[in-house]
Amino acid sequence: MPQAAEDVESTPISIPQSQSPLPSIPIPSIPLPSIPLPSVPIPSIPIPTIPPTTQYIESSSSDIVVPESNTTVIVPEGRLVRLYYENFHSAHPILIPAGLYDKTKAAACLHQVVTFIGSHYSLVMSNDTLHEATWLAVSSVEERTPATVQALLLYSIIMRARNEITRAESCLTQAIDIAVELGMHRDGFAVAAASSEHEAESLRRTWWELFIWEVQLATVQEGIPLRCSQLFSDVLLPCEETTYASPSSQTIPPPQSLASFRARIFTEEEEDEEGGESKEKKKSSRYSSFAYRIEAARILARVLVLNRLPETHQDHLQAVANALVSWMHHLPECKLDIVDMFGTIDEMLFQAHYTIRYAAMLLHLPRSNLRPRLPESPFAICPRTPVRLSPSLTRQVHDIKTVEASKQLSNLFSMRSGAQGTSPLAVCGLMLCGLVQLAAAERHGAECLDHHQNRLVLVLGYLRILRSKWALAHEAYARLRATAAQTAATATSEYSPFESRSTPTQANPLPLAEDEMNEAVSWSNLFSEYIDPTCGDSLSLYLNPERNYM
């Protein structure tokens, strides 16, 4: 059987082939006639060159312009105006409220400056897009009107924020020239030149903003002569911001005078000891936060004039020091807090408190033992504080007052969560605040180094969020950070967080029970790990309550 199988498999299978192939049938060729086609000329259609335009999508949730391509981004003017009012207006509120801006036709130069400032807060538009066009509009303007003064003033502020100091100073000088020529420093001008209550209020605010900005600019630019401070001015004081923001002109009350504001300490009724003031009266003030900001700027101007003198009389120095302290003492109850119950910051009151702390540092630092390491920079980013003799207080007292003013200024910025509404004038004060904390850390030694470094970290953090908007903040952040690194290289802490720290010891400790001793040691170790020492050895007092410091 196996052999048979092999035979079957090896036998080839033959497939029969066809014996006769199929015959081929020839197909006759039929010639086709050639039909000539006429030549139709095709006209050339020119394709127009379309300039690159902005393609943007408005997000329904955030209202932010998102570009679809890498073309030049141009945000609508209305959006830039909105960005101006949302981020900048509250810091320098001289223009009419946002709700009335579109209803009144702003001058072309002023509108150009507003949109230019608004572009600095756009997430998709470069700060330089409108730079040259705005400078051309400002430099070529010929009208000598209040709108021109406002445009030059706002342009000076944003140029200082961009570290373009020459343009900032020249525009401020030109704005003051036109304002004085028009008579904006006199009481009757606002009413005569305005067509509504809001416009009159805007003109009053413009003059006072000129006065304040000139003083703030003079803190870092010694050549500014403080012209507004030398002129006699009887311009009435601005009203509250909430009142000014109302679209109804009937809400603006009759303005108060600076003379009545300065005499308020002697003329206003005081709270009686038994009945006291009503709650409604305590919630309001006769004078606005803007008025207290003006008074703070006046005190700062006195400090600048005093520091420019080679020698200071004892009474002159003490008078300015008294003004700084009494400004705080005479604040009404409703002006003690810079935030309301909803967390909204009163920007004018914030700047007033900031200015007082800034002025205190500038007054006491030159007369103290503290020697901040002023960073070398081609830009004026920090006040120069040459050493001055103190005719009254000792240098140690000036040390304390300088550090305390720096501490209070940093506390102010700890209440802000972002850069919205922050004025560029805050950068120089923050810079000086950080340098004072560094100088104090060097002088106080390692015992409270972490305490001062914590405040320095806060200052650097706020400058860090401002640097994306302004070149001035970018320069200040870089210089202060570099100075801090140099200081850390020469003076290091004796301990670091989460490492073993030596707690203060007592020469002759009182005997304690074993349980009390163990508990005291336990709490001492816990505090030494998580709580930084503070100036004045307050931590040692807490950990060693038996020590008598009284």
For the chain, what are the domain ranges? 64-239, 503-550
Paired residues of 345 in beta bridges: 339
Dihedral angle sign, alpha carbons of residues 361, 363, 365, 369: negative
- With 90 as the cut, is the pLDDT of residue 98 above it? yes
Predicted TM-score (pTM) of this structure: 0.78
Cα–Cα–Cα angle for 380, 426, 302, rounded to 5 degrees: 75
- Cα separation, 402 vs 24, in Å, equals 117
Residue 71 has a pLDDT of: 56
Give, in order, the Cα–Cα distances in Å from 97 to each of 159, 321, 324, 512, 526: 23, 37, 32, 68, 53
Q: Which element (helix H / strand E) includes 357?
A: helix 347-364
- With 90 as the cut, is the pLDDT of residue 93 above it? yes
- Helix axis angle for 449-466 and 471-490, nearest 10°, is 160
- With 50 as the cut, is the pLDDT of residue 300 above it? yes
Percentage of the chain beyond pLDDT 90 is 53
- Cα separation, 453 vs 485, in Å, equals 11
Averaged over 431-460, what is the pLDDT? Answer: 86
Strand, helix or coil for residue 66 = strand
Residue 260 or 442, more confident: 260
- Cα separation, 214 vs 174, in Å, equals 12
Cα–Cα nearest to 165, from 99, 221, 223: 221
Percentage of the chain beyond pLDDT 70 is 70
Could you read off the pLDDT of 266-299 as tens digits, one per residue? 987 655 444 455 455 556 688 999 999 999 999 9
- Cα separation, 533 vs 453, in Å, equals 11
The pair of three-digit structure tokens given for residue 486, joined into one six-digit string? 């140099």
Strand, helix or coil for residue 56 = strand
Averaged over 486-511, what is the pLDDT? Answer: 52
Averaged over 142-160, what is the pLDDT? Answer: 97
Contact 166, 221 (CB under 8 A): no
Contact 203, 184 (CB under 8 A): yes
- With 80 as the cut, is the pLDDT of residue 522 above it? no
Could you read off the pLDDT of 324-338 as tens digits, one per residue? 999 999 999 999 999
Give, in order, the Cα–Cα distances in Å from 265 to each of 271, 292, 298, 412, 446: 12, 13, 17, 26, 44
Which of 6-15, 260-269, 405-414, 527-536 has the highest average model confidence (pLDDT)? 405-414
Residue 119 has a pLDDT of: 95
- With 60 as the cut, is the pLDDT of residue 461 above it? yes
Averaged over 521-525, what is the pLDDT? Answer: 55
Please classify residue 272 by burial: count the beta carbons closer than 10 Å to its beta carbon, then call 0-12 exposed, 13-18 middle and 19+ buried: exposed
Strand, helix or coil for residue 57 = strand
pLDDT tier at 372, thresholds 50, 70, 90: confident
Residue 84 has a pLDDT of: 97
Contact 454, 437 (CB under 8 A): no
Could you read off the pLDDT of 227-265 as tens digits, one per residue? 999 999 999 999 999 999 987 767 789 999 999 999 999
pLDDT tier at 458, thresholds 50, 70, 90: very high
